[in-house]
Amino acid sequence: MNEIIESVKNLSIGFSSQKGKQISILRNVSTNIKKGETVGIVGESGSGKSTLALAMMGYIKQGLFPLKGECLFKSEDLLKMSSRQLEKIRGRKIAMIPQNAGQALTPNLKIGYQIDEALRLHTDLKKTERDKKISELLNKVRLPSPETMAFRYPHELSGGQQQRVAVAMALAGKPDLLLLDEPTTGLDVTTQAHVLELLRFIAKDTGTSMIYVSHDLGAIAQVSDRIVVMYAGEIVLEGPARKILKEPIHPYTYGLLKSIPKLSLDGLPASMPGSQPQPGSINEGCSFYDRCNLATDHCKKNSPDLEHIKELDTKVRCFNHKELINKNNNLQTSITKKSNNSEAIEVLKLKDVSISYAKQKFFDQLLNKISDQNPTVKDINIDIKKGETIALVGESGSGKSTILKSIAGLLKTKDGQIKFENDRILSSDLKMRNPNDLRAIQLIFQNPDESLNPNHTVEQILSQPLKLYFNLSGEELKKNIIDLLKKVRLGKFYMSRYPRQLSGGEKQRVAVARAFAAKPDIILCDEVTSALDVSVQAAVLNLLQQLKEDLGTTYVFVSHDLAVVRAISDRVAVLYQGRLCEIGPSQNVYKFPSHPYTEVLLGAVLEPDPDIKPKLVAEDIVEEKPPEKGCSFQGRCPRKIGDICNSEVPPWQIGENGNAIRCHINIEELASLQQ
């Protein structure tokens, strides 16, 4: 157990800037991987975690080069090896499981071939033995019908299945060390929990060491024995998983853990100010100085070393870490949010809304209607009150974004009505809406990189809605832009910047400011924090909440992340395959009794706590189409009671605290089943 298989010594990796200066991405990183252990490397984007992981396979991305140090695998330096020597090690001794298996599998080659390739390269098995081995491997990663799976192409599998194939491929060479680069990011919550469970089983079963790289402390907590925390290219904290997660003694880790929304907590997570420094911008002092609330003048001038603390078995890079020892019992706190439910006026009503993506047939086009018996989204009835935050939750394909688009007028509804203010029917066609309605409903997108025009300055971006809706110009326009920037906590000097000169969080703030520029009544938020790092996510959530409290805006918040939804929303609607399963006040939806699908989702949430294990109650099958009749969740429901689920649409049942559940099982019975 104590045999070291890979050790990184004083590794620095960097690139040459245009001015010929050497800029490091990784700075003086040293760590050891022991046999049979799983090490989690955690950090936000740009912290150098992936660069470190790839260097551990002797792979340096194009444009980067090692500045100093070594990566010793069984006392041989991978960085000095020829590509011939590396081919013998990669896949055979150290194997990689990539982030996005959908893109990491070669599209023109069958699954079986790609696994066979690894077997041919790294074992001496004959053809028939290899064929047997392929189905063994596919079986081991729990793929259905391994015999026929080998003859399929990557695109014919779902995301979770592709990830499993990548695992099978990595296991083919019987490696001593498995490198996992964000292997579950981008998968649905239930799939993610299943894949993690599989990885944990494989680690135990084969005794393989694993390096698990992720930005997600929840996933890291589930698999790791030891955790390495990276910040701005340095290791800032390293130690046993439990110690790191329960008593973090570095202010960055502490802040990071506090900024993660948790299911058990009501209210918003605390945010950390600022963002990670750019590579090359740190000249002296601690790299976390700007964001640290323990920082002193000493920290500004001197950079701390990685100090080993024997009694905690932890290494930490902080002068003031003693202040954090034994005072971490306040990790479980959050900012309480004001809810303004006093005004119970309904501003937006969705009545029997159905939306179909089916192509119009020729005759339907003539009659301007859509004949689809089984539309993507069906029978949505939601009344949204003024000033509330209502969240739509579900996995990919649940129709949550589809509903959002049709509220915005970007997608035509098939049936039903969208009513706005005093029961006035909003046309489902954008061109038919009047300008004031267009102003009143604004949309914030998931990815600010794509929603902000890269050729416009922040000033131009923000002036467009102001000019369009309020005809502002000159000094007044400028004053309004500065006001807006102030609202989203950005300084005046951001006006002349282009989106590419902003960090992810700043970009999303600009997107928020643009939405608020129209002085809207309703803002539709489509996964607005999914592309952001956790510390930035907390800041954006707090900002949204603050703006809502100040201006009384109504939010329709779409997210797949149940913990984020828990933090921000007043009411939650759970969707499966475009049908509502459950709707109610958020504190009640997260309590039992709940719809079996909500139960499955809640069970799969990964908390950054090694003691809370996910509960896997349903298979992570992907259904392509909603069932034609009966309950939408019949295909995966762990509590299915029989034929009635297949034939009849379940009735709404209202629980004691006002959350409505659509299930054939009596609500009291559900409560006792879910105890």
Partner 1 sequence: MLLLILKRIGLGLITLFIVSLITFVGVEVLPGDACTTYLEREAYGAALDACIKRLGLDVPAYERYLDWASNVIRGDFGYSLSGEMPINEVLGPRVKNSLVLASVSILIGIPLAIVLGIITALWRDKLPDIMISTITIFSMTIPEFISATLLILIVAIWLGWLPGIVIIPSDATFYELLSNIILPVVAISMIMTAHMARMVRSSVIQVMASDYVQMAILKGVPYWKMVFKHVLPNALLPAINVVALTIAWLLGGVVVTEVVFNYPGLGRLVIESISNRDLPVVQALAIILASIYVGINLIADLMTLMLNPRLKSLQIRK
Contacts to partner 1 by CB under 8 A: 54, 57, 59, 62, 83, 86-92, 95-96, 98-100, 103-109, 117-118, 121-122, 153, 155-156, 166, 169, 173
Minimum CB distance to partner 1, residue 15 (Å): 15
Minimum CB distance to partner 1, residue 120 (Å): 10
- CB-based contact 218:292 (threshold 8 Å): no
Q: Which helix (H) or strand (E) holds 663?
A: none
Minimum CB distance to partner 1, residue 12 (Å): 22
**Quick one: 173 or 504, whose CB is closer to partner 1?**
173
Minimum CB distance to partner 1, residue 100 (Å): 6
d(CA 89, CA 381): 58
- CB-based contact 448:504 (threshold 8 Å): yes
**Quick one: 153 or 498, whose CB is closer to partner 1?**
153
Pairing type for strands 4-16 and 22-34 reads antiparallel
Minimum CB distance to partner 1, residue 103 (Å): 4
**Quick one: 99 or 191, whose CB is closer to partner 1?**
99
**Quick one: 214 or 542, whose CB is closer to partner 1?**
214
DSSP letter at 304 equals: P
Length of the chain: 675
The string of DSSP codes covering 480-527 is HHHHHHHHTT--GGGGG--GGGS-HHHHHHHHHHHHHHT--SEEEEES
DSSP letter at 90 equals: B
**CB burial of residue 634 (10 Å; 0-12, 13-18, 19+):** buried
- Cα 594–599–605 angle (5° rounding)? 135
Minimum CB distance to partner 1, residue 356 (Å): 17
The string of DSSP codes covering 311-348 is GGTEEE--TTGGGTTT--TTSS--B------S---EEE
Minimum CB distance to partner 1, residue 153 (Å): 4
d(CA 289, CA 293): 8
What are the beta bridge partners of residue 15?
23
**Quick one: 11 or 53, whose CB is closer to partner 1?**
53
User: How many Cα atoms occupy the beta-carbon half-sphere of 84 within 13 Å?
Assistant: 0
**Quick one: 145 or 647, whose CB is closer to partner 1?**
145
Minimum CB distance to partner 1, residue 6 (Å): 15
Minimum CB distance to partner 1, residue 90 (Å): 4
Q: Which two tokens stand for residue 67?
A: 């500045």
DSSP letter at 649 equals: P
**Quick one: 100 or 674, whose CB is closer to partner 1?**
100
**Quick one: 59 or 470, whose CB is closer to partner 1?**
59
**Quick one: 169 or 572, whose CB is closer to partner 1?**
169
